[in-house]
Amino acid sequence: MKKAKIIGLGSYLPKKVLTNADFEKMIDTSDEWITSRTGIKERRIAADDEFTSDMGYEAAKKAIEDAKLKAEDIDIIFVATLTPDYIFPSTACLIQEKLEAKNAAALDIQAACSGYVYALSLAKALVENNTYKNILIIASEKLSSIINYKDRSTSVLFGDAAAAAVVSQDGSGLEIQSIYLGASGSEADLLILPAGGCKNPASEKTLKEGLHYIKMGGKEVFKHAVRRMQQAIEKCLKETNLSEKDISWLIPHQANERIIDAIAKRFEHLDNEKVYKEVVRKFGNTSASSVGLALDFLKKENKLKSKEKILLTVFGAGFTWGAAILENN
Ligand code: COA
């Protein structure tokens, strides 16, 4: 059996930049506080008339072009997002239409910030068992649409962006060697958008109580994120009989530089220079898009050498988490 490979990558960032200095004018915060607690300097904010499907479409076009394919070559589209344009129809269907990917089925995936690796896992399985030839995975988030910009404990953390990848059996690229996924619904309340679903449909009350904004227990989420991403890395290494010394690049979910540092500390043989942090510094936490952006930048900057192994690890609401090992071929 030939292993599934990522044969094309793409990403998209909206133009508007929101800096820490901008936040100093909006709420009681400082560049010093945000930088020392999170490492974040800037984030991008989508235009009022720019939505998750638009950003996802832009990233997808680039990934398909990078794979040297056409939209009609795509068999199925997965969109990982927690900020879909609508609850239904799926954002995947909206992007299928924009791309004119007329041979593609389409499906949204809800695994919050872990969505990119969850989508990658499904794509790997479906390609390797010959169900589909070319799968387009897209992560796209307009997090600015669910953020209360008066809440300093959450607003400074998040940004908007999209990333995409084409997974296929043919062609050269990043071979997906192993994927591990995990979930635990018992901590669902620690990171949640309380209203808008059937439990708390939109009402005067939900609006008044601000229940259409992200709610998060920051300190608790921090601890779970470090522990779960560490476990996911260990599981993925064990499954492939690899040690941390075999890993050239670690791309953890780009949520907070301190979370990334805490994970890196637990793997003493990993070269600190090869622990990726650029995305969180420049774009904040872009949820499902974050590791996809990092992967696209690494590849486009020609930083990946032949046969190098890249370890992605993710964590998000649910809680969900996971890790994937890719090899550059
Ligand atoms: N500017 C200034 N002060 C702020 C602030 C901001 N933007 N946000 C919070 N504070 C204040 C708090 O109000 C609190 O003040 P108090 O002691 O007077 O009550 C103080 O800073 C400390 O808050 P605390 O929550 O203890 O800070 P922290 O060190 O835990 O850092 C986070 C807060 C949110 C940065 C951190 O908990 C975190 O990153 N958690 C993980 C979040 C995450 O990545 N979520 C997504 C995972 S997918």
Q: Is 269 a catalytic residue?
A: no
Whether 29 lines ligand 1, by a CB cut-off of 6 Å, is yes
Residue 131's φ and ψ, nearest 5 degrees, are -70, -45
Whether 279 lines ligand 1, by a CB cut-off of 6 Å, is no
* Å from CA of 214 to ligand 1 middle: 14
Are the C-beta atoms of residues 120 and 179 closer than 8 Å to each other?
yes
**Under 8 Å CB-to-CB from 43, ≥6 apart: which residues?**
17, 18, 158, 159, 160, 283, 284, 286
Whether 149 lines ligand 1, by a CB cut-off of 6 Å, is no
Atom in ligand 1 nearest the alpha carbon of residue 112? 48
DSSP 182: E
- 137: β partners: 78, 165
pLDDT of residue 268: 86
Structure tokens at 180: 């591990």
27 by DSSP, 3-state: which?
coil
- 327: β partners: 175, 309
Q: Please name the fold of domain 5-172.
A: Peroxisomal Thiolase; Chain A, domain 1 (3.40.47)
CA 42 to mean position of chain CA atoms: 17
How do the domains of the chain map onto residue ranges? 5-172, 177-328
Among candidate residues 134, 256, 285, 328, the one labeled active-site is: 285
Whether 19 lines ligand 1, by a CB cut-off of 6 Å, is no
The residue nearest atom 28 of ligand 1, judged by CA position, is: 219
**Under 8 Å CB-to-CB from 312, ≥6 apart: which residues?**
116, 117, 120, 251, 252, 291, 295, 323, 324, 326
Nearest residue to 37 (alpha-carbon basis) of 256, 276, 204, 327: 256
* Å from CA of 180 to ligand 1 middle: 30
The residue nearest atom 9 of ligand 1, judged by CA position, is: 153
Are the C-beta atoms of residues 274 and 249 closer than 8 Å to each other?
yes
pLDDT of residue 270: 87
Whether 156 lines ligand 1, by a CB cut-off of 6 Å, is yes
Q: What tens-digit pLDDT sequence spans the chain (329 residues)?
A: 789 999 999 999 999 999 999 999 999 999 999 999 999 999 999 999 999 999 999 999 999 999 999 999 999 999 999 999 999 999 999 999 999 999 999 999 999 999 999 999 999 999 999 999 999 999 999 999 999 999 999 999 999 999 999 999 988 999 999 999 999 999 999 999 999 999 999 999 999 999 999 999 999 999 999 999 999 999 999 999 999 999 999 999 999 999 999 999 999 888 888 899 999 999 999 999 999 999 999 999 988 999 999 999 999 999 999 999 999 99
Whether 289 lines ligand 1, by a CB cut-off of 6 Å, is no
The residue nearest atom 40 of ligand 1, judged by CA position, is: 218
Q: Is 134 a catalytic residue?
A: no
* Beta strands at 76-80 and 105-109: parallel, antiparallel or unpaired: parallel
CA distances from 318 to 101, 110, 115, 187, 225 (A): 31, 9, 11, 7, 12
Among candidate residues 134, 236, 253, 256, the one labeled active-site is: 253
* Å from CA of 222 to ligand 1 middle: 10
Helix H or strand E segment including 229? helix 218-239
Are the C-beta atoms of residues 81 and 289 closer than 8 Å to each other?
no
Nearest residue to 140 (alpha-carbon basis) of 160, 124, 125, 111: 160
Among candidate residues 113, 134, 236, 256, the one labeled active-site is: 113
Whether 285 lines ligand 1, by a CB cut-off of 6 Å, is yes
* Å from CA of 32 to ligand 1 middle: 13
Whether 226 lines ligand 1, by a CB cut-off of 6 Å, is no
CA 113, 114, 115 angle in degrees (round to 5)? 90
- The 10 Å Cβ neighbour count of residue 184 is 12
Helix (H) and strand (E) counts in the chain = 11, 13
Amino acid at 282: K
- State the sign of the Cα–Cα–Cα–Cα dihedral 17, 21, 24, 26: negative
Structure tokens at 190: 């620690």
Structure tokens at 31: 């560049």
Beta strands in 160-273 (DSSP E): 161-168, 174-183, 191-192, 215-216, 249-252
The residue nearest atom 23 of ligand 1, judged by CA position, is: 153
Superfamily of chain region 177-328: Thiolase/Chalcone synthase (3.40.47.10)
Same fold, 5-172 and 177-328: yes
SS (H, E, C) 73-137: HCCEEEEECCCCCCCCCCHHHHHHHHHCCCCCEEEEECCHHHHHHHHHHHHHHHHHCCCCCEEEE
Whether 61 lines ligand 1, by a CB cut-off of 6 Å, is no
Are the C-beta atoms of residues 292 and 11 closer than 8 Å to each other?
yes
Q: Is 198 a catalytic residue?
A: no
